[in-house]
Structure 1
Amino acid sequence: MKCIVGLGNPGRKYEDTRHNVGFMVIDELLKRHNWSLDKKKFNGQYAMEHHQGDKIILLKPQTYMNLSGESIRPLMDFYNLDLEDILIIYDDLDLPTGKIRLRQKGGHGGHNGVRSSIDHLGTKEFKRIRIGIGRPLSPIPVVDYVLGSFSKDEQGDVSASIKLAADACEAWLNTPFIDVMSEYNN
């Protein structure tokens, strides 16, 4: 069984914000496969589906970004998931808008959702897809920037990166992550 976690903030207010690109990737996967988040438990909404003979869980923590680990850990424990079977998707200020990067481990880089995940998983060694949201061009606080919507000019790049991240997630279901990294980090 594999689990794909998209980080974000719940509620209509945050739906199309930069901080919610992790949720947007989950939404893309749900749409592609005609799945729905029909389960509510572990402070999250999730789907448990079958994909090419394997079970897959798609999770959107509903704890708000800064407490994401409080949803991921109990789900992992309940379904007896190994760290190697978890993939976490989130926004990254240090990547240009529209770029994605896959990694097998790393720090939190100041991202509170990742910090919470590290704290609750007890390790920095979990698979991740970082989706670039760029840095603000004007001097606005980072919190206002990440909770803001993408500009019209960014929409095409963001949409492409969400689709690419969803492609990478699907590839990981059948392919070793190291190989998926080689393909999607180029």
Structure 2
Amino acid sequence: MPVDLLVVGLGNPGMDYARTRHNVGADTVGLLAERHGGRLKVAFRNERAQSDEVRVGTVRIGLAIPETFYNESGVAVGALVRRHDLEDLHRVVVVHDELDLPPGRLKLKLGGGLAGNNGLRSIKAHLHTEDFARVRIGVGKPPGRQQGADHVLRRPGKAERAELDVAIEEAADAVEAIATDGIEAAMGRYNTRPDPA
């Protein structure tokens, strides 16, 4: 059966990248699978993703974490979209880290620019559009002269980790809201929240 919503969490595979800032999207999808009894596993080799289907109320959701590196996420997303025959790409939700938001801040977006995110660029290249939904989890700008790539590939300190763990919970809540209430209603609810203290 086709899914009503496809939710993809971006990150890098392997223990070297576990719990890094770049993997907050994958962590969110892992949490959603845990909440709804899903078991993420490689179902189709050509998709290059761990995936499963769960229900949130009456809504069927495909959950996926690409097995590719972050910057090649479009390979998996394109294959998943084809398998689920999703013509309306507003039904694709990508959860990812965002340098332009403070740590722990959540923002939902439908379409629009890619803000230099190579994972999103790869997805656009494979879907031939930017018109997919995003749940953006703030990881903040790098300190001093540190490069953005170095910042996102590092594990945060204890205080920031706690902020990100709360944001991952909220991002999972936001995905559930998108599933049950639609993207516009979810944006109205989550985009008006104050920044974390």
Please state which band the TM-score falls in when normalised by the shorter chain.
over 0.9
The answer (yes or no) to whether the contact 2:108–2:191 under 8 Å persists in 1 is yes
Matched, 1:74 2:79: yes
**Partner SS, residue 130 of structure 2:** coil
Aligned residue for 1:173, secondary structure, equals: helix
Aligned runs of 1:158-169 on 2, under 5 Å?
A: 158-169=164-175
What is the alpha-carbon distance in structure 1 between the residues aligned to residue 10 and residue 72 of structure 2? Answer: 10
Which ranges of 4 or more aligned residues in structure 1 deviate by more than 4 Å?
Answer: none
Would the aligned equivalents of 2:56 and 2:176 in 1 still touch at CA under 8 Å? Answer: no
Equivalent residue, structure 1, for 2:96? 90
Alpha-carbon distance in structure 2 between the residues aligned to 1:141 and 1:179? 35
- Among all aligned residue pairs of Structure 1 and Structure 2, give the percentage whose two residues are the same amino acid: 37
Deviation, 1:9, is: 0.5
Match of 1:13 in 2: 16
* Structure 2: gaps spanning 5 or more residues: 193-197
CA RMSD, Structure 1 to Structure 2 (Å): 1.1
Q: Give the whole-Å Cα distance in 2 for the aligned partners of 1:52 and 1:171.
A: 11
- Kept in 1, the 8 Å contact 2:36–2:55? The answer is no
What is the aligned partner in structure 1 of residue 195 from structure 2? none
Report the counterpart of residue 102 of structure 1 in structure 2.
Answer: 108
Find out whether 1:184 has 2:187 as its counterpart.
no
**TM-score normalised to structure 1 length:** 0.96
Output one character per residue of 1:94-150: Cα deviation in whole Å (capped at 9) or x when no partner: 100000110111111111001101111111111101110001123222221110001
